[in-house]
Structure 1
């Protein structure tokens, strides 16, 4: 309450007004917190736009092959992902299902993938479409 050096308010000797002012401040703070909570709840309840699904470490390693191959063909995987997301998803899906991964890896290491990808890559036709578009 008040310290002994303060004089009591002659119109509020019991400190009721001061208590009411403090109570009003607490109520206002509670209202603000409630509003923030409601805003947060609305934000959390907003439907989320579907993003890319999480990729396992194994799948990520497999997908590096298509990115490397695209770069060897002077194609920008990031630009294609932005401009043509469906095309990039199709490339990645075919790469994940590839049964000739060792040949792809050897060609990429040897630097011959750009010349020989049509022989083994399930994405050969798609890459040609992107390359010559």
Structure 2
């Protein structure tokens, strides 16, 4: 005795309707995954934007250096965070690892950092690229 799945549909002898139904299910699943992916990306970007507040005071102070320097260079850190999140993460990462923090703080306090940062800042090339973009 043949199983019901072995029977062909007399109105669709080549199985086109079944194939289309399967294809539609796949498209719907892909759309749902894309929507979830977009939501995850937005959540990650929001978390990135809020990250400095959740850092230790020392790490937060280090990141304030790059934010302060960006503002002195007429760059908007939040706009960069939104438009170029990878660049902002790279700036923050280099700032955290910087060995010239005391000089940076001194230059920022003196108001000379916008002029002297290329001499000591590991982010100089990235900041210059942003300034001339």
Does TM, scored on the shorter chain, surpass 0.5? yes
Aligned pairs for 1:107-126 within 5 A: 107-126=107-126
CA distance in 1, matches of 2:56, 2:87: 21
Q: For residues 103 and 58 of structure 1, what CA distance do their matches in structure 2 show?
A: 16
- Distance in 2, Cα, partners of 1:57 & 1:108: 18
Alignment-derived partner of residue 129 in structure 1: 129
Unaligned runs of 5+ in 2: 1-35
- Runs of 5+ unmatched residues, structure 1: 1-45
Deviation (angstroms), 1:66: 0.4
Shift, 1:104, TM fit: 0.4
Deviation at 1:55, TM superposition (A): 1.6
Residue in 2 that maps onto 1:64: 64
Partner SS for 1:98: coil
Task: Give the TM-score taking structure 2 as reference length.
Answer: 0.62
Q: In proportion to residue count, which structure has more helix?
A: 2
Residue 43 of structure 1 corresponds to: none
Number of equivalences: 88
Deviation, structure 1 residue 56: 1.5
Largest Rg, 1 or 2: 1
